[in-house]
Chain A
Amino acid sequence: MAAEQPTPVMAGADQSRIHDIGYRGYDGPRLGRAYARRSLYSQSLRGSYGLGRSAKSKVLPMLLFAVMCVPAAIMVAVAVATKAHELPVHYTRYAIIMQAVISLFLASQAPQSVSRDLRFKTVPLYFSRPIETADYARAKFAALASALFLLTGVPLLVLYVGALLAKMGFAHQTKEFAQGLVSVALLSLLFAGLGLVIAAVTPRRGFGIAAVIAVMTISYGAVSTLQAIADTQGSSGAVPWIGLFSPVTLIDGVQSAFLGGSSAFPGGVGPSTGEGVVYAVVVLGLIAACYGLLVRRYRKVGL
């Protein structure tokens, strides 16, 4: 209401006098919870790629993003040059092949997203504002899942555009592209959930990074080793059930059962439709559980 009215500044007065300028109130709109949640979402999503942060923190996510896209671009170039009728890799397989890159991205960005707020105790500043703990958890979850979706979806888009340029069958390619997108969407949600739950336990970023990498790679290594052993021992019936215990094989199972993907399981045989249902239920259950745990975690943090 009050206009700015600068009071004269005494010459030679010490610095602390200068800010003695009239105060202006704020009568504009206050956009409330939903807006705050959206703002937190976009800030966190941008932050996942280092935007709005220091130049140093842009290096790793941007590099990983490039690493994800370059193979797709090469495949497309080869396919166009050789006038191939099929892409060398299925859309649904791409993310599985590049899983190490995705895990690295997750390991670096999940702690960045949540551990910092815990470590520097910024969380109370959020919760002393209109947003609630669930809003915070939802915004962070959605932001990291979106970041992962960009990371995994953009290479698919490159493949799709390339396939169309190479004049491959439009209907066929579109269907497979759509299946690929559904697959990476599930992967993004699952990975984001797991990464955030692990990272939100500890305010230490380094520990968070190590824990995420450990969970992702050790579980995958253990599961694929066990699957290989089970396969050579002739008990291939156990292979799909073992696959339930690592995030990557879970997604692999879901997509080979429902999304027309070819499995990376030993022998190339994914779960049957019945087993696939179990996979889908486990994936969705894990995503929901991660969200629940995250909300619970922040309810405790409070002020």
Chain B
Amino acid sequence: MVRITTVVPVTVIATESLSKRFPRVTALDRLSVDIGPGVTGLVGANGAGKSTLIKILLGLSPATEGRAEVLGLDVATKGAAIRERVGYMPEHDCLPPDVSATEFVVHMARMSGLPPAAARERTADTLRHVGLYEERYRPIGGYSTGMKQRVKLAQALVHDPKLVFLDEPTNGLDPVGRDEMLGLIRRVHTDFGISVLVTSHLLGELERTCDHVVVVDGGKLLRSSSTTDFTQNTTTLAIEVTDSDTHPDGTRAVREALRARGLDTHAEAGGLPGAGHILLLTATGDETYDLVRDVVADLGLGLVRMEQRRHHISEVFTSSDEQRKEAVGHGG
């Protein structure tokens, strides 16, 4: 259920040639970007300036030059007002082990200005929404990493902010925990109506979660576009099939069958293990998956794997244009 807000701001975050220089490094270099409502991924390698940007946006660190607005409030002068309307989930551990999640989140809600009764009510609600039940009365010290991440998320959401900054929320989680956290982040926007700025150094996981991805490197804006741009141009499927008696070279058979159905595979799967047996092709939507499934089934072969190739951030850094050309050239 999407919360109905009467005023929908066009931009949630706006920066204008925002720079932050430290004596020895430039953390942000004339960054200009507009971010709208929804889930936005902020991608960059470690040290790309993501955390610095969040600090500036929270009004905790003055920019060297340029300006920034969060929810229409200037970060330089309205820091306190911004922090009242914004939630923040740090990257590192930030939970005292000797108190329960409930006590801790209630305290944090009060620090955000919620009256005692409202703080308790919102805490119960929020912990339930992030998926913590009976264990919320136990000391945090005994929680798993996934549960701790949920408590961290809950304290960022407890005061019902308009926007949350999530700094590397999937750090340290196993694949299942990662997917759960990403699903939860998606719901923060779709169900709670809260805009999200989530950082990661993995582009792949943000593609699936975010409406919009901003890529920064060395403090500079590398790219800012909606994820549909990203995925439609660059989602690559890796396929591996078995061989059979009728088709001793299953890979080749599938390639030819796919070509006959109008789907070209990429020239070679360079770099991947077992490259010769892996077909790469560009997925344009669900129908591509269906087509592959049907083709493989028709040939009577076994589908060993069909996975989205995780884009590493470096691909965007090195050759985002090249890649797009390649994708267009091969994927049609």
CA distance A2 to B125 in the complex (A): 13
Interface residues of B in 182-200 (CB under 8 A from A): 191-193
Supply 7 A–B pairs (Cβ within 8 Å), ascending by A: A16-B131, A19-B128, A30-B84, A35-B110, A129-B84, A130-B84, A302-B61
12 further A-B contacts with Cβ under 8 Å, apart from A57-B98, A129-B83, A131-B111, are A16-B131, A16-B180, A19-B128, A21-B129, A26-B159, A30-B84, A30-B113, A31-B114, A35-B113, A129-B111, A130-B83, A303-B55
Give the residue name and chain of the B residue nearest to A17 (CB).
B131
Cβ-defined contact, A120 with B88, below 8 A: no
CA distance A35 to B160 in the complex (A): 18
A 1-25 to B, binary, CB cutoff 8 A, 1 in contact else 0? 1100100000000011011011111
B 59-76 to A, binary, CB cutoff 8 A, 1 in contact else 0? 011000000000000000
Cβ-defined contact, A120 with B103, below 8 A: no
> Is B112 in the interface zone, CB < 8 Å from A?
yes
Cβ-defined contact, A32 with B108, below 8 A: no
Cβ-defined contact, A53 with B60, below 8 A: no
Q: Which residues of A contact B155 (CB under 8 A)?
A: 125
Give the Cβ gap from A263 to chain B, nearest Cβ, in Å.
Answer: 43
Give the residue name and chain of the A residue nearest to B55 (CB).
A303
> Is A127 in the interface zone, CB < 8 Å from B?
yes
Give the residue name and chain of the B residue nearest to A3 (CB).
B1
Cβ-defined contact, B115 with A31, below 8 A: yes
CA distance A25 to B111 in the complex (A): 18
- The answer to whether A23 and B3 touch (CB under 8 A), given A43-B107, A125-B108, A303-B55, is yes
Cβ-defined contact, A128 with B60, below 8 A: yes
Q: Could you say which interface size class chain B belongs to?
A: 35 or more
CA distance A53 to B107 in the complex (A): 13
CA distance A2 to B193 in the complex (A): 11
Q: Which residues of B contact A18 (CB under 8 A)?
A: 133
Give the residue name and chain of the A residue nearest to B131 (CB).
A19
**Interface residues on chain A, number (Cβ under 8 Å):** 44
Give the Cβ gap from A117 to chain B, nearest Cβ, in Å.
Answer: 8
> Is A82 in the interface zone, CB < 8 Å from B?
no
Cβ-defined contact, A22 with B94, below 8 A: no
> Is B33 in the interface zone, CB < 8 Å from A?
no
> Is A124 in the interface zone, CB < 8 Å from B?
yes
CA distance A28 to B98 in the complex (A): 30
CA distance A160 to B243 in the complex (A): 96
> Is A52 in the interface zone, CB < 8 Å from B?
yes
> Is B43 in the interface zone, CB < 8 Å from A?
no
Interface residues of B in 250-290 (CB under 8 A from A): none
Cβ-defined contact, A302 with B111, below 8 A: no
A 123-150 to B, binary, CB cutoff 8 A, 1 in contact else 0? 0111111111000000000000000000
> Is A274 in the interface zone, CB < 8 Å from B?
no
- The answer to whether A33 and B80 touch (CB under 8 A), given A5-B1, A303-B90, is yes
Give the Cβ gap from A296 to chain B, nearest Cβ, in Å.
Answer: 16
Q: Which residues of A contact B55 (CB under 8 A)?
A: 302-303
> Is A234 in the interface zone, CB < 8 Å from B?
no
A 24-68 to B, binary, CB cutoff 8 A, 1 in contact else 0? 111011111101100110010000000011100100000000000
